[in-house]
A and B are shown apart, each in its own frame.
Chain A
Amino acid sequence: MFKKILIANRGEIAVRVIRACRELGITSVAVYSDVDRAALHVRQADEAYHVGPPAATESYLNIQKILNVAKRCGADAIHPGYGFLSENAAFARACEDANFKFIGPSAASIEMMGSKTRARKAMEKAGVPFVPGTSSGLDSAAQAGQVAAKIGYPVMLKAAAGGGGKGMRLVQTKEGLGSVLEAAQSEARRSFGDGEVYIEKALINPRHIEMQILADEHGNTVYLGERECSIQRRHQKVLEESPSPIVSPAMRRQMGDIAVRVAKTAAYSNAGTVEFLVDENANFYFLEMNTRLQVEHPVTELTSGLDLVHLQIRIAAGEPLPFTQKDISLRGHAIECRIYAEDPDNNYFPSPGTISLLLDPSGPGIRLDSSVYEGWTVPIDYDPLLAKLIGHGADRPQAISRLVRALNESFVGGVKTNLPLLRRILGELDFQAGKVDTGYLDRLLRSKPAEVKHDEKVAAIAAGLFAILEHPSTVANDGPDASGWKKVARADALRGTT
């Protein structure tokens, strides 16, 4: 087993890995940028080293600086967390070359899954289902017409070199196909320098469901159940749950078997996630594989009873998986809410600042993975995720009611957060009925919630009592001859300063 692990990350995931290290008796090493000197992961680690200025490219993304720290402190392994360098094949290779064990898959596996076309070719060969269409470029409008007629309208034309929604065109009927294909090809040529365009059946607002897998370095691979991640906006997930309300045991087995096949085809080891798009008839199609620990891994930990970070470390240390597929049983239902520093009144724009008051929830079935504390200033330089609140119950309604109860116990003062949105989603009828897809959140946000306010009087009385109770001296009858000190104190009380 490793003696010392460097965590090449920050925020709640760094804290999460530090906790696992401590539980396993491993010394943890944090790295931090200028603005993170006071961050929680630095406070909680056994050792911490500065790696550079706030810009991630000069700190958390700087491979050389991180490896220098690893050498200096004598670490024997590096955990990349998620984001930053976690899916960077060059980093995984540099770790191996410098004799640090990278806690994740091999550089070759990361590389294979990082290239859409390479991944698709290999996975098609392995019989993994893809959205119906062509895997290579279209030559002519006639060919496009034939394929579209076979797979059925609507269809999506996609630039092979595109991504992030760019170079995509929706075609509803065969009349428009020819001209849209031409436009898509010329746009692809202009934007990406490559006019290759392929065709796929259009999935309108599909569900996003992913399967967690674990693979050791001895050829054993298992799946740990799915996560429903359809509630997202701008490709950012907001709420995830396991199991998915629409996945039956038979479908889970099918998806799980395919996810295991994907992992084996990529010679994958460690924790990974195979993402699928699911249409309204519960047909599922391979989307991509995430070659790292996911943000939403806690929901799987709660339903499987396993600690994924412990297992990641054990696998990287060469241990075989301590169980087989038939030993894995899933229990109850878990839902994760991502608490972001975002301003609901300003289109959910990031809202950094100093946390002036922080009240954390607790109680049955509640887990909080947080990276913040009262008095800490959320820096402007990174992702606005503050914490993840996870509710676990015997079934979905109980998980929801526990989470609602816990969200109502939570308070974050000083920065704006999406807590009101999370409460709204959990109380909404379609969500409660499990009717969610990737268009759900945009639809919900189009309508403003009806705000019912009936405690103005309580608020007015509270405002006065705050002023009096924080400065008891101001209650004394201070007439015209009151001292200047008293006047200052009263003015302060009214402003709420000090």
Chain B
Amino acid sequence: MLYEVTIDGKNHQLQLEPAEGGWQCRLDGLPVKVDAVLNRRNVLSLLMNGKAYDIKRELTTTGMNIWVGTTRYAAQIRDPRSLRRRKDGAGDDLSPKELVAPMPGKVVRILVSEMTEVEAGQGIVIVEAMKMQNEIKSPKKGIVQKLVAAEGANVNAGDVLAIVE
């Protein structure tokens, strides 16, 4: 199996083939033998060159976090055979940007109206969770095309609150 793995924004080529007593890996061309046991969902035990690693995984909206010990690595993984379907570029500054709720909460105030011009970093919506208010800011300079969330609405993490174009 061939994968393209991104760790903290850096791309790596990973090849994994079953081998005697584990896996033969090639990471960016360098060979290494790994013994791996999936202890349970999201928990992996690795033995590499005699060293033991207890690895945890968390799924996120953009991919996953891989925890090696107490250190977190943001990871994405792709199978190159499906790469062609991947849309390139995370979007330039001219494309519409969605404001999403970073956490579940309640929309307590909307600070701008639709079709007004906003600066990058300007507060658009205030979401309250656990008695604390968080101002959700515009990711770019532009015009508020649509306010999706209404005042008083409950939102989940990842819900679109507004679109700035």
A residues adjacent to B (C-beta < 8 A): 341, 343, 346, 349-353, 356-357, 359, 380-384, 408, 411, 413-414, 419-420, 423, 451, 453, 455-470, 474-475, 490-491, 494, 496-497
Contacts and interface: CB of A to CB of B under 8 A. Distances in A.
B59 A496 contact: yes
A463 B56 contact: no
Interface string B1-43: 1010101101010101010000101010000101010100111
Nearest to B155: A380
A467 B44 CA distance: 11
B157 A462 contact: no
B66 A459 contact: yes
A491 B27 CA distance: 21
A439 to B, nearest CB: 22
Nearest to A409: B54
B148 interface: no
B55 interface: yes
A342 to B, nearest CB: 9
A353 B82 contact: no
Given A350-B103, A496-B59, A465 B27 contact: no
A459 B75 contact: yes
Nearest to B78: A494
Contacts of B56: 357, 359, 411, 413
Interface string B60-81: 0001101111110101011100
Contacts of A457: 12, 27, 32
10 closest A-B pairs (Cβ-Cβ)? A350-B130, A459-B73, A455-B68, A469-B38, A380-B129, A413-B58, A459-B66, A460-B5, A462-B55, A463-B75
B82 A380 contact: no
Given A357-B58, A455-B71, A496 B130 contact: no
Given A381-B130, A458-B48, A459-B7, 16 more contacts: A343-B102, A350-B129, A352-B105, A357-B43, A382-B130, A459-B55, A460-B14, A460-B75, A461-B46, A462-B68, A463-B5, A464-B1, A464-B77, A465-B36, A470-B38, A490-B79
A462 B27 contact: no
Contacts of B82: 491, 494
B129 to A, nearest CB: 4
Nearest to B76: A463
Contacts of A350: 103, 129-132
Contacts of B3: 463-464, 467
Contacts of A381: 130
Contacts of A383: 130-131
Contacts of B48: 458, 461
B14 A461 contact: yes
A455 B42 CA distance: 18
Size class of the contact patch on chain B: 35 or more
A451 B46 CA distance: 23
Nearest to B36: A465
B7 A460 contact: yes
B104 interface: yes
A129 B23 CA distance: 70
Nearest to B156: A353
B104 A353 contact: yes
A341 B131 CA distance: 13
Contact of B46 (A346, A356, A462, A496): A462
Nearest to B2: A464
A475 B38 contact: no
A192 B123 CA distance: 30
B29 to A, nearest CB: 12
A384 B69 contact: no
Contact of B69 (A408, A461, A466, A475): A408
Nearest to A451: B71
A419 to B, nearest CB: 8
B145 interface: no
Contacts of B97: none
Among B68, B103, B105, the one with the most A-chain Cβ atoms within 10 Å of its Cβ is B103
B55 A458 contact: yes
Contacts of A463: 3, 5, 7, 14, 57, 64, 66, 75, 77
B58 to A, nearest CB: 4
A340 to B, nearest CB: 10
Given A461-B32, A463-B7, A496-B64, A413 B70 contact: no
A442 B43 CA distance: 35
Contacts of B68: 455, 458-459, 462
B58 A465 contact: no
Contacts of A382: 130
B43 A380 contact: no
A461 B129 CA distance: 37
Given A423-B70, A462-B46, A352 B132 contact: no
A303 B111 CA distance: 52
B135 to A, nearest CB: 10
A83 to B, nearest CB: 12
Contacts of B59: 356, 496-497
Nearest to B38: A469
A305 B23 CA distance: 51
B41 A462 contact: no
Contacts of B63: 496
A332 to B, nearest CB: 26
